[in-house]
Structure 1
Amino acid sequence: MAQTALPTSIDFLAPPVLCNEQGEVRTVGVEIEFVGPSAEKTVQALQEALGGRLIEVDPHSFALKDSAIGELTVELDSRFLHPGKSAGSQKGVLPKIAALFGFAASYLVPCELVTAPTPIDRLQELDRILGILRKLGAKGTQDAPFYAFGLHFNPEIPRQDAQTLAAFMKSFVLLNPWLRREVSPDRTRDLLGFADPFPADYVRMIASPDYWPDIPRFIDDYLAANPTRNRDLDLLPLLHHLDKERVRAVLPNEKINGRPTFHYRLPDARVSDPGWSIAPDWNRWVAVERLAAGREKLDMVGGTYLAFEGEDKSWANVVEQVVRS
């Protein structure tokens, strides 16, 4: 079985809380978008390199089970092309139409590769995927100046309580100007790939050292300001997991799969770049976790933000010093 070399130049940092409430190593799922090879060719190459059992879900959706790095799925990133995932659509002409349309659309619609939840201390193994994609000729953000291909992390929340939830959100909104600058320093890409930022009034509410709500109030406040999935840090899957009825009362028809994870959405998957690794983006997420882990420092940074009168780019310079300290 062919092996793909692992990058060795970038270390994956460990978060301050490695285990969940059950004492098990926390997990993180990774999503990578790309164009070029078909979903079928991609999963076949993954099977050749990583082993495992290949399962065809439909002509444009495949699963690889029991591989050397766990379970993976690869599919065209369009729900219309996978009608079998909807109730009552397994039979009839619709799947055939979707299959035919999918072959035509495969030149325009990106593929999405999704890993199963992987223990955080094994995250570096997922970089093997990038070498396989590059060998296939997969293309990413740097190959499409008018399109941004996503890289998403789904890290498990370490504790499912109100303080942990609020601390992570505080840390993220305070660091987000720095995160956005580091992820995409080219401002022209802001219109292409980035999710909408959190509303300024909501950020100021969250940043306040006095804001430590219980979970029901946190959810109500979040939904009032962010009734959408289009945020850098999409909390809807986590909030749905914590209180499905409360979320569905506001968003009855939104596509949300509840799970005890954050959904960190990045607009830059540079899959054809030989030097690209998911490590730098992961390490910036760890910076969020480190600030969230210390309430005294978190409250101090929040208070400083509320007193700050400069622009986001200047605040990014301030919190960069916090991250580096």
Structure 2
Amino acid sequence: MFSSCFPELSMAQPALSTEIEFALPPVVHNEQGQVRTVGIEIEFVGPSAERTVQALQEALGGRLVEEDPHAFALKESAIGDLTVELDSRILHPGKQAGTQRGVLPKIAALFGFAARYLVPCELVTAPIPVDRLQELNRILTILRGAGAKGTQDAPFYAFGLHFNPEIPRQDAATITAFMKSFALLNPWLRREASPDATRNLLGFADPFPAEYVRRIADPDYWPDIPSFTDDYLAFNATRNRDLDLLPLLHHFDAQRVRAILPNEKINGRPTFHYRLPDARVSDPGWSIAPDWNRWVCVERLANDRERLDAVGSAYLSFEGEDKSWANVVEQIVRS
């Protein structure tokens, strides 16, 4: 049954959101019988990448590795491997294929020391088992202690929070079900992730085109992977989507994706890439749990074929605006 995703929550996130538990998805194990994993990305400003990773090492242990002056890895910490770096490709030329040591890396390093006041840092975790997500609150506490700042400290900038959950089954039906569920719930997801309308244009990726949503919402739409990929690329040949499927589709059929996007930075992997525009890192009451739990709502609807088809049919017959559909969806996920 599709039960309420988090009945304990009101519309507003409570003051002490770190007490909220992380919900488990309906499918906890992958096809190999292992607990599914999810990687997390958090953007912030304030301390340098080096100072941040040092603070993490002090609290979590592990081995610190400098990849360049603005990119560091923490290996074998208490919660796994982490990386922290300035979030700009041009500041890390050594990571780009064919780059030679010499003048260019030195220029990038110097530029990075100036850019760190304008370019956010990004903390990226290695894949974490979905039943251990509560441990991530330790990271937020460490970041706040190091002086990290987030969205609420920058009125004209939105710092991102990204989830990279492992796909539970690597088949066409699973990909299609997740895409249907996300597209149908997205007006509600976007409203809940950033209820302040004045911020909506700052950090959100573009929503999926209405024509594409109507196409995939059809209860009869259950294509094979090549057909799904062709349809997705026809409407979404961009990384600028809330749910970016390009890494997943590249994992299944790199040649098909590269034929349309030959130069785009895409690393194929069997995960979804869910982008959120709000990381309130310096807020002691902020947790990633509510955002994760809303993602679990997507998984629960995707895992309920009968209900998913019913919601798709309802969407196709709905004549209101997105904000009105968000109200309909809210009742669905809370029922």
TM-score, L = length of structure 2: 0.94
The residue correspondences of 1:62-141 to structure 2 (distance < 5 A) are: 62-141=72-151
Name 2:153's counterpart in structure 1.
143
Say which SS state the counterpart of residue 198 (structure 2) adopts: helix
Give the one of 29, 33, 48 matched to 1:23: 33
Cα distance in 2 for partners of 1:212, 1:284 equals 24
Q: Is 1:13 matched with 2:23?
A: yes
Name 2:11's counterpart in structure 1.
none
The residue correspondences of 1:184-199 to structure 2 (distance < 5 A) are: 184-199=194-209
| Superposed CA offset, 1:60-79 (max 9, x none) | 00000000000000000001
Cα distance in 2 for partners of 1:272, 1:122 equals 23
Name 2:8's counterpart in structure 1.
none
The letter for the 1-side match of 2:106 is: K
Give the one of 301, 312, 323 matched to 2:322: 312
The letter for the 1-side match of 2:285 is: G
Using CA pairs under 8 Å that are at least 6 residues apart, name the structure with larger relative contact order, 1 or 2: 2
Aligned pair in 2 of structure 1 residues 98, 8: CA closer, same or farther (>3 Å)? closer
Name 2:310's counterpart in structure 1.
300
Say which SS state the counterpart of residue 56 (structure 1) adopts: strand
Cα distance in 2 for partners of 1:250, 1:68 equals 41
Is the Cα contact below 8 Å between 1:7 and 1:127 reproduced in 2?
Answer: no
Say which SS state the counterpart of residue 57 (structure 1) adopts: strand
Give the one of 26, 45, 64 matched to 2:55: 45
Name 1:211's counterpart in structure 2.
221
Cα distance in 1 for partners of 2:152, 2:100 equals 38
Cα distance in 1 for partners of 2:101, 2:51 equals 26
Which segment is superposed worse, 87-96 or 247-256? 87-96
| Superposed CA offset, 1:71-104 (max 9, x none) | 0000000010001011232311000000000000
Q: Is 1:239 matched with 2:234?
A: no
Task: Quote how far apart the aligned CAs of 1:8 are.
Answer: 5.6
Name 2:296's counterpart in structure 1.
286
Structure 2 gaps, min length 5: 1-15
Task: Quote how far apart the aligned CAs of 1:7 are.
Answer: 7.6
Name 1:162's counterpart in structure 2.
172
> What is the RMSD computed on CA atoms of the aligned residues?
1.0
Is the Cα contact below 8 Å between 1:29 and 1:153 reproduced in 2?
Answer: yes
Cα distance in 1 for partners of 2:301, 2:318 equals 19
Say which SS state the counterpart of residue 29 (structure 1) adopts: strand
Q: Percent identity?
A: 83
Cα distance in 2 for partners of 1:280, 1:84 equals 37
The count of corresponding residues between Structure 1 and Structure 2 is: 320
Query: Runs of 4+ in structure 1 displaced over 4 angstroms?
Result: none
Structure 1 gaps, min length 5: 1-5
Is the Cα contact below 8 Å between 2:18 and 2:289 reproduced in 1?
Answer: no
TM-score, L = length of structure 1: 0.97
Task: Quote how far apart the aligned CAs of 1:224 are.
Answer: 0.3
Task: Quote how far apart the aligned CAs of 1:245 are.
Answer: 0.7
Cα distance in 1 for partners of 2:100, 2:82 equals 23
Name 1:322's counterpart in structure 2.
332
The letter for the 2-side match of 1:100 is: L
